Amino acid sequence: MMKNYAKLIRIFRALTGKTFSNHEYKHRLILQKIAYILSIKSKSKYNYGFNWYLRGPYSPPLTRDVYNEQQPTEPSLDKDDKDDIKVVGNLTDNATNDKNLELVASVLYLMKNRGLKDFKKIYPSIHSLKPWYSEEEVKNAIKKVKKSELIS
């Protein structure tokens, strides 16, 4: 997975403007959400395997890479990286906002894995798990996920 992990680190830096640190919880959370979103776009490229956890989609194998792999150097972005950055960027106004990424990734997870497709079904699930998100925030997240065409 090292090659894909290195790509995720490059994408993290491009989206956040920060050097990834596995000592920063917020960095790890953002990386998890970026990886989940991109796994929907290209499962073969980012096949970490995700399940539901407290803060939304979570991958234990990615966490192992975060702690076990040597931090990769960050070479220049290639065309695929730029496409991936665009996909994540279209889903969030600010990739350093971990709460926004958590919400978008959670909505995407519920739509893909639990078959929930509209606000009336998604909002109660999100609200029961994450009551700090407003109806408006959830509506905006659903709108962005639908517009992204990651879920058909």
For the chain, the domain total comes to: 1
Cα gap 86→113, rounded to integer Å: 23
Predicted local confidence at residue 75, as pLDDT = 64
Cα gap 90→140, rounded to integer Å: 12
Cα gap 141→143, rounded to integer Å: 5
Residue 53 scores a pLDDT above 70: yes
Adjacent-strand bridge partners of 127: none
Range of the domain at 139: 2-148
pTM of the model: 0.91
Q: State the residue for tokens 């909505």.
A: 107
Residue 1 scores a pLDDT above 60: no
pLDDT 10s digits, 10-23: 899 999 999 999 99
Residue 152 scores a pLDDT above 80: no
Predicted local confidence at residue 51, as pLDDT = 94
Burial of 93 (C-beta count, 10 Å sphere; 0-12/13-18/19+): exposed
